[in-house]
Amino acid sequence: MTSIAVDPHSEWQLSTGSTSRVGVTDTTFRDAHQSLLATRMTTAQMLPVASRMNRIGFHSMEVWGGATFDACIRFLGEDPWERLKVLRREMPDTRLQMLVRGQNLLGYRHYPDDIVERFIRRSVANGIDIIRTFDALNDVRNMRKTIETGKECGAHVQGTLVYTVSPVHDVDHYMAVARDLVAMGIDSLCIKDMAGLLKPDAAGRLVRALRPVVGTLLPIQMHAHSLSGMASMAYWEAIQMGANAVDTAISPLALGSSQPATETMVVVLRDTPFDTGLDIDALVDVAESIERIFRDAGNAPIRQTIIDTRVLSHQVPGGMITNLLAQLDQQRASHRLQEVLRELPRVRADFGYPPLVTPTSQIVGTQAVLNVLMGERYKIIPAEARDYLLGRYGRPPHPIAEHLFERVAEGRQPITHRPADDLEPGWEPALAESAPWATSEEDVLTYAMFPQVATNYFKARARKLCGERRPFPVALRQVNEMVRGFAEA
Amino acid sequence: MTSIAVDPHSEWQLSTGSTSRVGVTDTTFRDAHQSLLATRMTTAQMLPVASRMNRIGFHSMEVWGGATFDACIRFLGEDPWERLKVLRREMPDTRLQMLVRGQNLLGYRHYPDDIVERFIRRSVANGIDIIRTFDALNDVRNMRKTIETGKECGAHVQGTLVYTVSPVHDVDHYMAVARDLVAMGIDSLCIKDMAGLLKPDAAGRLVRALRPVVGTLLPIQMHAHSLSGMASMAYWEAIQMGANAVDTAISPLALGSSQPATETMVVVLRDTPFDTGLDIDALVDVAESIERIFRDAGNAPIRQTIIDTRVLSHQVPGGMITNLLAQLDQQRASHRLQEVLRELPRVRADFGYPPLVTPTSQIVGTQAVLNVLMGERYKIIPAEARDYLLGRYGRPPHPIAEHLFERVAEGRQPITHRPADDLEPGWEPALAESAPWATSEEDVLTYAMFPQVATNYFKARARKLCGERRPFPVALRQVNEMVRGFAEA
Ligand SMILES: [Co+2]
Ligand SMILES: [Co+2]
């Protein structure tokens, strides 16, 4: 299957760039269940509504990437490539989008260029129309390979600005990153607020400032999580200021740590200059089916907390605090959480204000825990933090604190080139190592990203154990937060 | 206790009218638990946080009225007047607000003027600073007595526009009602969206249109319910267009059928020209206490549905649909709900497009059910509907359909005067009838509003059974929706 079902460019321009109609990207099959259901929605749960979703007329649907790939092989015993093929078949009229973490692809470390290139090519060949790529540090060099390859295969490539709040993340910072992304040839720009920090006035200002940078024809799309309760207001204000598309989820999987509800935004924009043109009754029909699917499966989203006040007071998402608490608990030191929450922004400042998203959230969080528990700051600095401080994850938004850099550098200079330039090609080794199990180029790529988990999956597949769904874990909420800790929200 | 603790006028003007600072009215102790917990929050559950709430610096707190009075004597075995006195004592620095249904006070029918006057006087004497009054039909004559009396006792009186969507509810309609309310001497104006129908663009237009009507010094306040997911966006847009205050609830009792979260709006408006000036950490502290109180009591709010898609598709809130279904069920006709939902807007049109709020939602809903079940429209017209059609609830927003009016009029003319003008004074009879139990003017007023329920309550109080809390009902959700059906949301 190599044909792209939907022209990833022309209709997008028609639907957003040249009129004020706002495009809707539905995230139900990717980010929504990743955020509310520990990424446990199965392909079987998607199929009963897929063809109806296809007919809604969304600008696009995000259905692949993020943590869904890992979850498929790790927890669901599903082949993620098969899911993509099935969804492509069921949804021939809708642009399918994937989220990719730049040079990290769908994993948690940088991969060599040959793996990145092959992975992007196979993703498009199997049905992806739109590639949304981001880097945790907004280091455009980490997005370059995904952008180039996406363009080469004729996909629509969306560059991403990861939004955070810090003294160095001013409008100028985002304008500079956007300028670089545009120069690399992106087809549209996404503002990604994974932590629910984007206030409506800031959203409006950002869109207004970015418009001259990206030009009038290049669409700007908003991606936000509702955990602080601000996302829908940020969408509204961004749209007034010229944003062309928003990410939403069908209501049973909306709000809280997921996106604003699709139905709400469709009704809100109806009869305004920004009308989405979507049919609310068709959406309600799909929503009721999805609600029934989860009810029947006994895995309805857990909604104890809709507003995460910890984001509002500390700018730290509850999922990250849960991880810190788990680390403290192992040392019987959970009573020291408040100290860690005070140390966290200090570490983040020393580290040059990285946005807190995988993997920087784990690196900064662990360092803050160690600084508190050791009774002396930076007495222990883990290997990942050392790599980060030496530039091996990319360029921090702001220079590293001098005292800290000297401590880890031991006379060495930080690397200033693109980190992946140091990586040996990965295809041949992956091909050799996965030979006992792999039956396709896709299998080899699965192995290249997740050697250990892929091997377990391949063995289980060989034992024909896969098709069966594992029992749903009882402590879903905990798993959910753990997974969110490791995987981009 | 006759002194008003907080000047109900001067500080309000200072905090909203003359600057752009936005006032926050917290509804946690009234509308929030009425909407999410079937009005079952007890005074004992309020006390642990009341003094901290008092120190937050809210523009006001709505703590009394609506369905809370009825719920106190019907379900909680509490004296609502005692609650008011206790809250007044615990919150000496915060303006306390009550919601009153115009001439209906806190009940479901019009009361005579002498009862209305005494009730308002005793409310203010016991600690109410702000009286928010509304009428289901926006018939200002039904609000007049509450406004006049409130003004006479020195309270701040807030007139209300009940928001709905219909061919006759255009901006001109609301401007005309607002003009009449201003002429009656209201101190501020509330836009009340009890059904989650107010879209942000409509909210902005409405505030802009009303400003010249009310003048620059008279504050405009927004009251909306989040059940369609639009309320926070409506608040944001209304504030941009000049609204001076918004109603919110502490996050554990926010969203869904309740108000947007207080913490969210405080953070959203911080560092904008509309800063609320409230301290987010103090709010988070209160939120955690409230969450603990409900968790310990085992009565956490139920959040199965956060977005009510039925409002979005049919403009009919889920609670009302539940009531219709219950009526159909009794006739073993629940399969005919769709017919009823199609008949409902036709009946509403025939009835002159009343907003659907107590008591009009019940009158219109029952008529739609009867029209479907009888197989002939208006074969049966219940007494309440006849009274409504003859003008005995006030003036409908639009003339009644002629064919329908002729059917009930039987040659009579509709009444065109204020319905309460026909009522005999109620104080002397209530005094006599309640004599065996009543120990205060407040008791007599309780009896005057709810003779049967009050008698049961008085008897229980006499048997000293009251202080005990009743066990919390199991089918909370059903009770919740039933109560919402009867009581204003
Ligand atoms: Co996301
Ligand atoms: Co209300």
Residues B333 and B288 in one domain: no
CATH of the domain at A370: 1.10.472.90
Structurally, chain B folds into a number of domains equal to 2
- Better-scored residue on pLDDT, A314 or B169: B169
Mean pLDDT of B427-439: 96
Structure confidence at residue B38 (pLDDT): 86
Three-point CA angle A19, A24, A28, nearest 5°: 170
- Better-scored residue on pLDDT, A303 or B216: B216
Which residues from chain B sit within 8 angstroms of residue A307, using beta carbons?
Answer: 251, 254-255, 261, 263-264
Mean pLDDT of B102-128: 97
Burial class (CB in 10 A: 0-12, 13-18, 19+), B464: exposed
Structure confidence at residue B10 (pLDDT): 59
Coil, strand or helix at A65: strand
Residue A442 lies in a domain: no
In this predicted structure, the answer to whether residue A10 has a pLDDT above a threshold of 90 is: no
Mean pLDDT of A477-483: 38
| pLDDT tens digits, one per residue of B298-345 | 877 756 567 787 888 878 877 788 889 889 999 999 999 999 999 999
Q: Give the amino acid at B331.
A: Q
In this predicted structure, the answer to whether residue B484 has a pLDDT above a threshold of 70 is: no
Mean pLDDT across chain A: 90
Structure confidence at residue A205 (pLDDT): 98
Which residues from chain B sit within 8 angstroms of residue A201, using beta carbons?
Answer: 272
Residues A132 and A270 in one domain: yes
pLDDT-derived band at B120 (thresholds 50, 70, 90) equals very high
Nearest by CB to A268, from B233, B268, B284: name it.
Answer: B233
Residues A291 and A323 in one domain: no
| pLDDT tens digits, one per residue of A181-215 | 999 999 999 999 999 999 999 999 999 999 999 99
Structure confidence at residue A19 (pLDDT): 60
Which residues fall within 8 angstroms of residue A202, CB to CB, at 6 or more apart?
A: A234
Q: Which residue's structure tokens are 């017209």? A: B381
Domain boundary among B269, B297, B325: B297
pLDDT-derived band at B42 (thresholds 50, 70, 90) equals very high
Of chain B, the percentage scoring pLDDT greater than 90 comes to: 78
CB contact under 8 A, A263 and B309: yes
Mean pLDDT of B454-475: 66
In this predicted structure, the answer to whether residue A84 has a pLDDT above a threshold of 90 is: yes
Which residues fall within 8 angstroms of residue A474, CB to CB, at 6 or more apart?
A: none
- Pick the range with the lowest mean pLDDT from A97-106, A118-127, A319-328, A419-428: A319-328
Structure confidence at residue A355 (pLDDT): 94
In this predicted structure, the answer to whether residue B59 has a pLDDT above a threshold of 80 is: yes
Residues A179 and A259 in one domain: yes
d(CA B423, CA B417): 12
Beta-bridge partners for B98: B64, B131
In this predicted structure, the answer to whether residue A311 has a pLDDT above a threshold of 90 is: no
User: Judged by CB atoms within 8 Å, which residues 350-369 of B form the interface with A?
Assistant: none
Structure confidence at residue B30 (pLDDT): 97
In this predicted structure, the answer to whether residue A484 has a pLDDT above a threshold of 50 is: no
In this predicted structure, the answer to whether residue A2 has a pLDDT above a threshold of 50 is: no
Of chain A, the percentage scoring pLDDT greater than 90 comes to: 78
Mean pLDDT of B173-199: 97
Domain boundary among A238, A269, A297: A297
Nearest by CB to A268, from B200, B254, B261: name it.
Answer: B200
In this predicted structure, the answer to whether residue A116 has a pLDDT above a threshold of 80 is: yes
d(CA A482, CA A486): 7
Residue A478 lies in a domain: no
SS in 3 state form for chain B? CCCCCCCCCHHHHHHHHCCCCCEEEECHHHHHHHHHCCCCCCHHHHHHHHHHHHHHCCCEEEEEECCHHHHHHHHHCCCHHHHHHHHHHHCCCCCEEEEECHHHCCCCCCCCHHHHHHHHHHHHHCCCCEEEECCCCCCCHHHHHHHHHHHHCCCEEEEEEECCCCCCCCHHHHHHHHHHHHHCCCCEEEEEECCCCCCHHHHHHHHHHHHHHHCCCCCEEEEECHHHCCHHHHHHHHHHCCCCEEEEECHHHCCCCCCCEHHHHHHHHCCCCCCCCCCHHHHHHHHHHHHHHHHHHCCCCCCCCCCCHHHHHHCCCHHHHHHHHHHHHHCCCHHHHHHHHHHHHHHHHHCCCCCCCCCHHHHHHHHHHHHHHHCCCCCCCCHHHHHHHCCECECCCCCCCHHHHHHHHCCCCCCCCCHHHHCCCCHHHHHHHCCCCCCCHHHHHHHHHCHHHHHHHHHHHHCCCCCCCCCCCCCHHHHHHHHHHHCCC
pLDDT-derived band at A307 (thresholds 50, 70, 90) equals confident
In this predicted structure, the answer to whether residue B85 has a pLDDT above a threshold of 50 is: yes
Nearest chain B CA: its distance from A265 CA (Å): 8
B254 part of contact set with chain A, CB < 8 Å: yes
DSSP state of A271: T
Domain boundary among A367, A400, A421: A421
Q: Which residue of A has its CA nearest to B307?
A: A251
In this predicted structure, the answer to whether residue B467 has a pLDDT above a threshold of 70 is: no
Structure confidence at residue B233 (pLDDT): 98
Inter-residue contact B80 to B446 (CB < 8 Å)? yes
In this predicted structure, the answer to whether residue A486 has a pLDDT above a threshold of 80 is: no
Mean pLDDT of A80-95: 97
Nearest chain B CA: its distance from A292 CA (Å): 13
Structure confidence at residue B319 (pLDDT): 76
Structure confidence at residue A285 (pLDDT): 94
Inter-residue contact B213 to B180 (CB < 8 Å)? no
Residue A439 lies in a domain: no
Is the four-CA dihedral B206, B313, A43, A229 of positive or negative sign?
A: positive
Structure confidence at residue B294 (pLDDT): 87
CB contact under 8 A, A307 and B200: no
Of chain B, the percentage scoring pLDDT greater than 70 comes to: 90
Which residues fall within 8 angstroms of residue A330, CB to CB, at 6 or more apart?
A: none
Coil, strand or helix at A64: strand
* Nearest to A335, CA basis, from A325, A343, A322: A325
In this predicted structure, the answer to whether residue B283 has a pLDDT above a threshold of 60 is: yes
Give the A:B interface size as CB pairs under 8 Å: 114
User: Judged by CB atoms within 8 Å, which residues 127-186 of A form the interface with B?
Assistant: none
Residue B86 lies in a domain: yes
Residue B488 lies in a domain: no
Structure confidence at residue B303 (pLDDT): 60
Burial class (CB in 10 A: 0-12, 13-18, 19+), A175: middle
- Dihedral (C-alpha) A79, A85, A86, A91: value to the nearest 10 degrees? 140
d(CA B297, CA B285): 19
* Phi–psi pair at A225, nearest 5 degrees: -110, 145
- Better-scored residue on pLDDT, A266 or B108: A266
Residue B485 lies in a domain: no
Residue A359 lies in a domain: yes
Residues B207 and B266 in one domain: yes
Structure confidence at residue A487 (pLDDT): 38
Residues B195 and B48 in one domain: yes
Nearest by CB to A200, from B268, B280, B300: name it.
Answer: B268
Inter-residue contact A302 to B348 (CB < 8 Å)? no
Residues B220 and B129 in one domain: yes
ipTM of the complex: 0.89
The alpha carbon of A93 is separated from its chain's Cα centroid by a whole number of angstroms, namely 24
User: Judged by CB atoms within 8 Å, which residues 220-249 of B form the interface with A?
Assistant: 228-230, 232-233, 236-237
Structure confidence at residue B322 (pLDDT): 81
Structure confidence at residue A4 (pLDDT): 47
Q: Give the amino acid at B299.
A: N
Mean pLDDT of B118-142: 98
- Better-scored residue on pLDDT, A6 or B13: A6
Structure confidence at residue A94 (pLDDT): 97
CATH of the domain at B26: 3.20.20.70
Residues B269 and B335 in one domain: no
Residues B22 and B92 in one domain: yes
Which residues from chain A sit within 8 angstroms of residue B253, using beta carbons?
Answer: none
Q: Give the amino acid at B371.
A: N
Residues B228 and B166 in one domain: yes
In this predicted structure, the answer to whether residue B23 has a pLDDT above a threshold of 60 is: yes
Inter-residue contact B319 to B485 (CB < 8 Å)? yes
A276 part of contact set with chain B, CB < 8 Å: no
Domain of B381, in residue numbers: 316-421
Structure confidence at residue B298 (pLDDT): 82
Structure confidence at residue B163 (pLDDT): 97
Residue A331 lies in a domain: yes
Structure confidence at residue B336 (pLDDT): 94
| pLDDT tens digits, one per residue of A420-450 | 999 999 999 999 999 999 999 999 999 999 9
Q: Which residue of A has its CA nearest to B264?
A: A229
Residues B278 and B392 in one domain: no
In this predicted structure, the answer to whether residue B475 has a pLDDT above a threshold of 50 is: no
Inter-residue contact A359 to A393 (CB < 8 Å)? yes
Mean pLDDT across chain B: 90
Residues B353 and B409 in one domain: yes
Element (H, E) at A23: strand A23-26
User: According to the per-residue pLDDT averaged within each range, which of A422-426, A462-466, B290-294, B406-410 is highest?
Assistant: A422-426
Mean pLDDT of A157-185: 97
Other C-beta atoms lying within 10 Å of the C-beta of residue B48: 13
| pLDDT tens digits, one per residue of A341-359 | 999 999 999 999 999 988 8
CB contact under 8 A, B307 and A264: yes
Structure confidence at residue A117 (pLDDT): 98
d(CA B370, CA A483): 53
pLDDT-derived band at B3 (thresholds 50, 70, 90) equals very low
Nearest chain B CA: its distance from A408 CA (Å): 36
pLDDT-derived band at A300 (thresholds 50, 70, 90) equals confident
